[in-house]
């Protein structure tokens, strides 16, 4: 492919898409012997660059994420062209800038689904899930083996009339995906958090989360 035809994107997105391309080229059809990599993508938006313990924040404590940064690679120079959550999400799914994928705010992107990373991986035998925030037009649930999209406030209503914090809901649904997935197939789960995103003019966003201000399920973040 010529350099003029390649999607324009940021360094982190390029590396992620390079990994997807490697999987797609190496696994024309998934077999038990090949054992391709499983993928869990944790995606959160609308937080400051320093909202991590490992980034030196004086208040926020994120020991689990700090461990991932310590044991893996942490990128410290990454930029976006359009600081809108829906646009950035479209860029992640397509590997393209806003000018190319066509989502200027919160609309569906123009890029064919077959060219997104969930579309490519599913076409190559992956069990594909999307859990949490979407905000790119109508949620294309039929494109996922498991698709659960939520929006609204940080506190979500439950069928029994109680409420659950959306991060606890993220965790519960993600664990169900991992527990119930077919064991004979590789999987890709995109877990999209939005409690980091401000709820403009809603004071309930400042309510303390369960378990004394730690992760809602009682675990460190």
Task: Check if 85 is active-site.
Answer: yes
Catalytic residue among 101, 135, 154, 165: 135
SS3 98: helix
* Strand partners for 127: 187
Q: Which positions ≥6 away from 155 have C-beta within 8 Å?
A: 163, 164, 165, 166, 204, 207
DSSP state string for 27-87: -SS--TTT-PPPEEEEEE-S--TT-SGGGT-SS---HHHHHHHHHS--------SS--HHH
Task: Check if 135 is active-site.
Answer: yes
Catalytic residue among 85, 124, 127, 188: 85
Q: Which residues are catalytic?
A: 85, 135
């Amino acid at each position: 492919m010529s350099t003029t035809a390649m999607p324009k994107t940021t360094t982190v997105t390029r590396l992620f898409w390079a990994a997807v391309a490697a999987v797609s080229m190496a696994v024309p059809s998934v077999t038990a012997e090949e054992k391709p990599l499983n993928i869990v993508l944790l995606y959160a938006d609308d937080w400051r660059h320093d909202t991590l313990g490992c980034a030196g924040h004086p208040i926020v404590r994120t020991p689990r994420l700090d461990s991932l940064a310590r044991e893996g690679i942490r990128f410290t120079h990454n930029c976006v062209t359009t600081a809108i959550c829906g646009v950035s999400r479209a860029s992640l799914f397509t590997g393209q800038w806003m000018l190319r994928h066509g989502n200027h705010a919160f609309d569906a992107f123009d890029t064919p689904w077959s060219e997104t990373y969930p579309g490519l991986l599913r076409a190559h035998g992956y069990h594909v899930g999307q859990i949490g925030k979407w905000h790119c037009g109508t949620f294309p649930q039929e494109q996922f083996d498991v698709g659960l999209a939520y929006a609204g406030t940080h506190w979500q209503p439950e069928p029994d009339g109680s409420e659950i914090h959306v991060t606890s809901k993220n965790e519960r649904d993600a664990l169900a995906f991992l527990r119930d997935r077919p064991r004979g197939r590789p999987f890709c789960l995109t877990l999209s958090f939005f409690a980091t995103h401000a709820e403009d003019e809603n004071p309930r966003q400042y309510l303390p989360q369960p378990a004394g201000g730690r992760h809602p399920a009682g675990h460190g973040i």
